[in-house]
Amino acid sequence: MAPDPLPHPFVLRASGPLRGDIRVPGDKSISHRALMLGALAVGRTRVEGLLEGEDVMRTAAALSAMGAAITRTGPERFDIDGVGVGGLLQPEGALDMGNSGTSTRLLMGLVAAHDLVATFTGDASLSRRPMARVATPLKLMGADIALAPGDRLPLTVRGLAPALPIRYRLPVASAQVKSAVLLAGLNAAGTTTVIETVPTRDHSERMLAAFGAAVRIEELADGSRAIAVDGPAELRPQTIPVPGDPSSAAFPLVAALIVPGSRVTIRNVGLNPTRDGLVRVLEAMGARIARLNPRRVGGEPVADLAVEASALAAVEVAPEIAPSMIDEFPALFVACALAQGRSRLSGLEELRVKESDRLAVMAEGLRAAGARVEERADGLDIEGTGGAPLPGGARIDPRLDHRIAMSFALLSLACRAPLVIADRRPIATSFPDFLDLMQALGAELQPAEDG
Ligand code: S3P
């Protein structure tokens, strides 16, 4: 997978309403987990609708390097011949995680409970992200972990098999940390328990149960949730249909809301209650979103969303809702910049340690496009235009962050002069078809000048 050496700057603009019917690609979080649990099952797991984005392909490559046989049998269809819990093999070289935090943190959990040593490397963005949050509990489980200064990549994990079971309260609301500990717990000698004060995405728990692991979830007296898994576990192979990614759907959804006259249907959107915060917040802002054909796909709630351009009102988002839309804030900030009134978004410190510092980068870019934004330590205040277009005309560097690139591509649709997105490459990590789908809806894509 040779990365494209050229950034391919582009502009996206709308000369009329967006119209059409599209399907979003498979959920990134679920795709990573399907590959990992398939690799740990005994026998052949089939995955349909897998996201073929770069991040997920990093997970596939790492699992292949550790002995799982992963075969692409058609578009978005993969077979995984698993090696069994405890059966991963010593990889020959370092595991290159590219831009993918989820690959890194979840695979650290797998390696921590296997008798092998693995070095994890990544791109400049991933190499700035904090890894102590995962290393701390995995060390308690017996792994030996050497991190680069600042507790970052590159790092080396020497696993212990079987791992030591722990009971661990998450100090940050993070599904990645929760999942890393639960995955290590599959090969621990006894029961591993993770306690979360605020609910985070629960795909790992759901899928572990589907693969036959003994998973128990208990509400504690203080309102937190304890998730326990018994090790050593034996996983039975599954057929997994992956629902569409609500975090990808967020971009055409907000685009349809902010381009006047638009009417768009987005099919196959996962609406797990730990992921649907953006839809709920947009509805509270006055967005016209109909949830059609509600159904279950692979044990996850899914619906088609019919969206119409809407006059949006400013909003205040309660910090408790943040984990259920943690990756959607950049798209929400764009909606707020066009809403009526001043939006206040708080409790968002975690956005500073995503693929970029999303509070700083979004504040800077929104201002460059002409929006009035105040950056605080834990959030943004955004003064909306009430639907009037912003001046635009700025050049935006997405800083290796797919969601920054896509958010400013959206904002460009509501600017008098389009925004130049200086690098399109990051989009391929999670949503390779994004620009094709936006064009299918009627947006115009043009290459822009380099430099
Ligand atoms: C993810 C969890 C979230 C999210 C990320 C995917 C996952 O990260 O931002 O894109 O698949 O578990 P945190 O656990 O760091 O909040």
Task: Examine the domain organization and report whether 187 and 250 are in the same domain.
Answer: no
Residue pLDDT, tens place only, 317-336: 988 899 999 999 999 999 99
| Residue 1: per-residue pLDDT | 52
| Residue 449: per-residue pLDDT | 83
Task: Examine the domain organization and report whether 259 and 190 are in the same domain.
Answer: no
| Residue 127 domain-assigned (yes or no) | yes
| Residue 430: per-residue pLDDT | 98
Mean pLDDT computed over 276-290: 98
| Residue 382: per-residue pLDDT | 98
Residue 331 exposure: Cα atoms within 13 Å on the Cβ side: 25
DSSP per position, 352-395 = GGSSS-HHHHHHHHHHHTT-EEEEETTEEEEE--TTPPEEE--E
Task: Examine the domain organization and report whether 19 and 68 are in the same domain.
Answer: no
| Residue 237 domain-assigned (yes or no) | no
Task: Examine the domain organization and report whether 194 and 82 are in the same domain.
Answer: yes
How does residue 145 score in pLDDT terms, banded at 50, 70 and 90? very high
Residue 131 has pLDDT above 70, yes or no: yes
| Residue 238 domain-assigned (yes or no) | no
| Residue 106: per-residue pLDDT | 99
Q: Please identify, among 178, 210, 231, the residue that sits at the C-terminal boundary of a domain.
A: 231
Task: Examine the domain organization and report whether 152 and 135 are in the same domain.
Answer: yes
Confirm if 197 and 5 have CB atoms less than 8 A apart: no
Residue pLDDT, tens place only, 342-381: 999 999 999 999 999 999 999 999 999 999 999 999 999 9
Mean pLDDT computed over 78-89: 98
How does residue 5 score in pLDDT terms, banded at 50, 70 and 90? confident
| Residue 170 domain-assigned (yes or no) | yes
pTM over 0.85: yes
Task: Examine the domain organization and report whether 265 and 343 are in the same domain.
Answer: yes
| Residue 366 domain-assigned (yes or no) | yes
| Residue 412 domain-assigned (yes or no) | yes
Rounded Cα distance, 427 and 24, in Å: 14
Residue pLDDT, tens place only, 195-249: 999 999 999 999 999 999 999 999 999 999 999 999 999 999 999 999 999 999 9
| Residue 400 domain-assigned (yes or no) | yes
| Residue 4: per-residue pLDDT | 83
Confirm or reject: Cβ of 33 under 6 Å from ligand 1: no
β-sheet with 69-74: strand ranges across? 69-74, 77-83, 42-48, 239-241
Residue pLDDT, tens place only, 20-45: 999 999 999 999 999 999 999 999 99
Task: Examine the domain organization and report whether 333 and 360 are in the same domain.
Answer: yes
Please give the residue range of the domain that contains residue 347.
10-26+243-447
| Residue 123 domain-assigned (yes or no) | yes
The count of domains in the chain is 2
Confirm or reject: Cβ of 174 under 6 Å from ligand 1: yes
Q: Please identify, among 231, 260, 291, the residue that sits at the C-terminal boundary of a domain.
A: 231
162-165 long-range contacts (CB < 8 A, ≥24 apart) are 162/86, 162/113, 162/187, 162/188, 162/189, 162/231, 162/232, 163/112, 163/113, 163/187, 163/188, 163/189, 163/192, 163/231, 164/140, 164/188, 164/189, 165/141, 165/189, 165/190, 165/191, 165/192, 165/231
| Residues annotated as catalytic (active site), given as ranges | 327
| Residue 451: per-residue pLDDT | 64
Task: Examine the domain organization and report whether 81 and 226 are in the same domain.
Answer: yes
Mutate to test the pocket of ligand 1, among 176, 197, 328 (most ligand atoms within 8 A of CB): 176
Task: Examine the domain organization and report whether 224 and 272 are in the same domain.
Answer: no
Rounded Cα distance, 129 and 98, in Å: 12
| Residue 96: per-residue pLDDT | 98
Task: Examine the domain organization and report whether 326 and 340 are in the same domain.
Answer: yes
Confirm or reject: Cβ of 247 under 6 Å from ligand 1: no
Cα 427 to averaged position of ligand 1 atoms, centre (Å): 17
Residue 425 exposure: Cα atoms within 13 Å on the Cβ side: 14
Residue pLDDT, tens place only, 428-438: 999 999 999 99
Cα 179 to averaged position of ligand 1 atoms, centre (Å): 10
Mean pLDDT computed over 391-397: 98
Task: Examine the domain organization and report whether 281 and 182 are in the same domain.
Answer: no
Residue 143 exposure: Cα atoms within 13 Å on the Cβ side: 36
Name the percent of the chain lying above pLDDT 70: 99
Q: Please identify, among 231, 252, 269, the residue that sits at the C-terminal boundary of a domain.
A: 231
Confirm or reject: Cβ of 248 under 6 Å from ligand 1: no
DSSP per position, 131-159 = -HHHHHHHHHTT-EEEEETTTEEEEEEE-
Residue 2 has pLDDT above 70, yes or no: no
Quickly tell me which residue has 């326990």 as its tokens. Answer: 228
Residue 3 has pLDDT above 80, yes or no: no
Q: Tell me the CATH number at 388.
A: 3.65.10.10
Cα 102 to averaged position of ligand 1 atoms, centre (Å): 6
Task: Examine the domain organization and report whether 37 and 22 are in the same domain.
Answer: no
